[in-house]
Amino acid sequence: MAKDKKEEGHYKERPYDAEPEVAAPAKVANNAGSYAVPAVIPQGNNLPAELDDPSEYPPDEELFLPRIGIIQPTSDAVTQEGRTAGVLLDSLTGEEFESITGIFLGMTRSRKRFVKKELLCNGQDFKTGVGDPGGECEKCPLQKWDEDEAKAMAERKPKCQEHYDFVAVDSIEIKDGYPVGMPFIFSTHSTGLKSAKRFISAGRARQLPLYCFAVELTVRRITNDLGTFYVPIFTVKGQTPPETWKSLAGIAARLLTASKRAPVESTAANDAPAAEY
């Protein structure tokens, strides 16, 4: 059973709803994967004072930051693992959530080309692809729509897809200037980009970065003549305390830098789109 992941936190209520219009048809969002990034948010030791942790852990840079993805009806999570479509999946723990309320610290854009779930080219910086064909993304014909309207939609779509990669923490509670919670990456593309752009526009209209807002991430079901799929919904629930913005900006910068160093093979198995347009 999926569950909400909501927490009470210290933020100012602002009645703003950033739900997007429904766009169709479009490709569904990707499943979850993992980036190898350092754990940059100091959280200390949560054990009682009389206890200790004798473990010898690997260095932070060898650990994984979980990715949150939407389980789509045609994904392996449904067809092979028997999971329920339309919920958020934590790649690290396997937990499912109907919603996550937290702080979206920042985002980057990337381009990815998949063929049968294999990642062939990864433009992690949105400028230069690594792989097949590789090279300058802006000049690559695979990131453009085929202008031949006589072809089916699936044949005309770009072979290389634009992705928005958000870094976030799954809590809105802030202690000693730092968010209390687990950092994660949420990636979306295709239909999800419209929702993401509306969310980003809400902050830009206020001339404020993403980390200035507490946000609820949920999922919306879309059904049309091409089938059923799910898209993300970003709803701004309030504003984080301005006195925490400096520390949040520092965390955002470090997480975003680390996420750009993610190896191509770390996302290959899970970023493949699960359905056609």
pLDDT digits (tens, 9 = 90+) for 239-272: 999 999 998 998 888 888 766 655 433 332 233 3
Tokens of 200: 């980003």
CA atoms within 13 A on the CB side of 211: 25
- Tell me how many helices (H) and strands (E) the chain has: 4, 15
User: Which amino acid, 124?
Assistant: Q
Instruction: For residues 276 and 118, give the distance between their C-alpha atoms in angstroms, rounded to a whole number.
Output: 16
**Domains identified in the chain, total number:** 1
Residue 50 within any structural domain of the chain = no
Domain boundaries, position 70: 3-35+63-266
Residue 125 within any structural domain of the chain = yes
Tokens of 269: 């198995």
Under DSSP, the state recorded for 47 is S
Residue 19 within any structural domain of the chain = yes
Task: Give the pLDDT score at 274.
Answer: 33
Residue 142 within any structural domain of the chain = yes
Residue 57 within any structural domain of the chain = no
Task: Give the pLDDT score at 51.
Answer: 72
pTM to 2 decimal places: 0.74
Task: Give the pLDDT score at 80.
Answer: 87
| pLDDT tens, position by position, 87-103 | 999 888 889 999 999 99
Strand bridging mode 183-189 / 213-224: unpaired
Residue 56 within any structural domain of the chain = no
Residue 160 within any structural domain of the chain = yes
Tokens of 28: 């569904």
Residue 79 within any structural domain of the chain = yes
Which residues of the chain have a pLDDT value below 50? 1-3, 6-43, 263-277
